Structure 1
């Protein structure tokens, strides 16, 4: 069997849409009656809680309340709908080229998994996305109560694939310390810079275009760790 490949999601397979996220949160603020800039700042400040603890509606209630708002249930639901629509748009915008890469990896026999630091609306939108059917396993921080770089979330993905972490290749842009977290559990790490050069200080192997990955995996089948790199490729 070809080595299992575990992907990050945002800035690896799809754009993170950071500016659009802030715009949407500003729109949500108007729905629940608080200042847009204040709600955007509150979203940024509570990202860890949102990744592992709060669903969409709880986030709106908690943060609006902290800002002096008293939204009705109907307002909370309407505001949450903005975030759900954004999640569908982001996942639906995956490029045909990326889907082709995933199909090529599956054709080469690679089991595929996803580990994403993601809030609940992303996990909800995932099953209907073009990405979902191409993955054997998807692990979302909001569902397991753990976020990268916690070693346990990588082990969960490997266990669900039925392999040891050291058998896996992890591909990500490097946000949230994810590359070091994957290396710490023994995964071979490849850093992608296609969407964002997130972790330029990472000393392991990097590549510029996701389309390079199938060939890179064939050529680097003997790699045993992320630190055995001779620099970027692609």
Structure 2
């Protein structure tokens, strides 16, 4: 990935950090975009853009354009920004459905729209989204989250069809990711069965690499040891 310019949204979370660190170790130049405030100073190989609300199309465009201007181009966009909420479908707060739609679908859509003009000029334009295995068949309380991630799956397929031959667009579908937050919320679970951030990052970065030039429109389960 030597010299590849990658934008990682949700870069300050556990998965985002893993993706960024592995990409940097392989010679990529990485821009992290997050709603939280940036934590690291800019270097030749890495910048962080904090305080960005990707649910706002103009903020997304401003951030992505700033990355392209800083590095001179953009080769890959990795859409990790998102969130989770558990709520019963029949009697919950309807606002949770809108929140999940905004956090998981709209952020990916806005970032992708902003990045596509830059990615189309790259010889290896890539978009990698994060869907969810849980969106393939929703369980109890998973309706809002599963619906929003299923929409990410459909977005992935639509963009792949629209940009075939110019930009590859794929998604990883993880099960539960082994993060500190997930361990805290499910303390009695068997953490060894969960997919590790580093394992998921490896699949993401494969899809963002030249080696995956023939893969587009794919929804790839990354289920850990469940």
TM category (shorter chain) comes to 0.3 to 0.5
Bigger Rg, which one: 1
Tell me the TM-score normalised to structure 1 length.
0.45
Structure 2 length normalisation: TM-score?
0.46
Higher RCO (CA-CA < 8 Å; seq separation 6+): 1
Task: Give the number of the structure whose residues are more often helix, by fraction.
Answer: 1
